[in-house]
Amino acid sequence: MRILILNWRDTRHPKSGGAEAVTMEYAKWWVHAGHKVTWFTSGYKGAKKEELIDNVRILRQAGSQTVYLLAPFYLLLHSHEYDLIVDEVHGIPFFSPLCTSKPIIVFIHEIAGDIWNFMYNPPISWIGKHMEEWYLRLYRKKLFWTDAESTGHELMERGIKRNQITVIHCPIPNFTRHIALQVHVKKEKVPTFIFVSRVVKMKGIEEVVKAFAFVQKELPLAKLWIVGGGEDRYVKKIVSMIREYGIYEKVTWFGKLNEKEKLIRMAKAHILLHASVKEGWGLVVLEAGFLYTPSVVYNVAGLRDVVRDGHTGIVITDNSPIELARASLHLYQDREIYKKYQTNAHTWAESLTWTDAGKKSDAFLKEAVRQVL
């Protein structure tokens, strides 16, 4: 089968994230299964217009601002070369139903919803939220694929039928797993909490800083590690906030680390804190769990799915910094529960394999083509 993936970035893009890493794992699996895979995406400074990565053909035929405009033209001219289109949504889709009659799968990690309010000011935020409702109507007869049950429920609330939705839990990327298996470090001697994400408002860094300020009052030796970069203006705002709370000496900001250094920090920390507005799945939670670091998270889509509440970590009931702090303190201070969650988090992360996810995705793709033929 000839598969075309439409995605705004590929794994070598400087701003690529977990979604791209996961998509590449699926793409590699499809190639291994005998399919031909092409990935249409945007370019970046110094990028090749076309290259082969793990036998996946990467076409960088647009800029970051034009990829959504040029992809439809590419479809109009080349859709006859493919048997299936994977239209991957990041806030907005590629509007592929307007350009081709070929089978289409909508690969959506989350319904953006209120994320628009955190990422953009009016009127863009208003336009984004309403456009989301419109494009879902455009795709209402297509098959949807997502990572978490919460997103599936949100799709149904917006009119997509249950039998159109397939949920496949994605494992941590094989590249990450391989490195994680080589990480053998002990936990820090003092209570250490970690935040791993892009430093943007919607990822909840402000909530985590506030929560840690509460934790630090109870555990004066506690530390907070921040792993991830962001725009200078927002980073400066967070640094000022840390100073205002009087915890500057207790917070270490590592910026964006390479994969090995990131995993070492995750393994040394005691608890991962995540207070995002919404996630598609929360891959970083699985990565931490694989390294025996349980998580305390907000009760939002994606995070409530990837954390097995009361088993691999804690999903708080009231999304507030004080509750995040209380739950974190409870988990850290109850050593028996903490050790149980450590083991469970590792077992859960280890149980999700690409062999299983790949087979499920392959069966789903074939079913999508059969339904159209």
Q: Is residue 345 located within the same domain as residue 368? A: no
* Strand 2-6, strand 143-146: pairing: unpaired
One domain, residues 346 and 368 = no
> Do 335 and 366 have their domain in common?
no
Q: Quote the mean pLDDT of the chain.
A: 95
Question: What are the pLDDT digits (tens) for 248-287?
Answer: 999 999 999 999 999 999 999 999 999 999 999 999 999 9
pLDDT of residue 195 exceeding 80, the answer is yes
Q: Give residue 125's pLDDT band: very low, low, confident or very high (50, 70, 90).
A: confident
**Do 192 and 205 belong together in one domain?**
yes
Provide the pLDDT for residue 138.
93
User: Is residue 373 scored above 60 in pLDDT?
Assistant: no
| CATH number of the domain bearing residue 95 | 3.40.50.2000
Looking at the fold, whether 164 and 218 belong to one and the same domain comes out as no
State pLDDT tens for residues 297-336: 999 999 999 999 999 999 999 999 999 999 999 999 999 9
Q: What's the pLDDT at 337? A: 98
pLDDT at 358: 97
Number of structural domains the chain divides into: 2
Q: Above 80 in pLDDT, residue 161?
A: yes
Confidence of residue 235 (pLDDT cuts 50, 70, 90): very high
Name which residue leads in pLDDT, 128 or 213.
213
Percent of the chain with pLDDT over 90: 88
Q: In this prediction, what percent of the chain has a pLDDT beyond 70? A: 99
What is the per-residue pLDDT for 133?
82
**How many Å apart are CA 39 and CA 23, to the nearest integer?**
10
Q: What is the pTM of this model?
A: 0.93
- 37: phi then psi, degrees, rounded to nearest 5: -120, 130
Q: What is the pLDDT of residue 114?
A: 75
What is the pLDDT averaged over residues 62-67?
Answer: 90
Residues 21 and 108 reside in one and the same domain: yes
**Per-residue model confidence (pLDDT) at position 372:** 67
> Do 37 and 89 belong together in one domain?
yes
pLDDT attached to residue 128:
77
Q: Are residues 133 and 224 in the same domain?
A: no
Tokens of 149: 């049950």
Are 346 and 357 within one domain? no
| Claim to verify: residue 166 and residue 205 sit in the same structural domain | no
Looking at the fold, whether 204 and 303 belong to one and the same domain comes out as yes
pLDDT at 60 over 60: yes
pLDDT digits (tens, 9 = 90+) for 26-41: 999 999 999 999 999 9
Asked if 49 and 116 sit in the same domain, the reply is yes
- 308 lies in which domain range? 175-351
**pLDDT over 90 at 185, yes or no:** yes
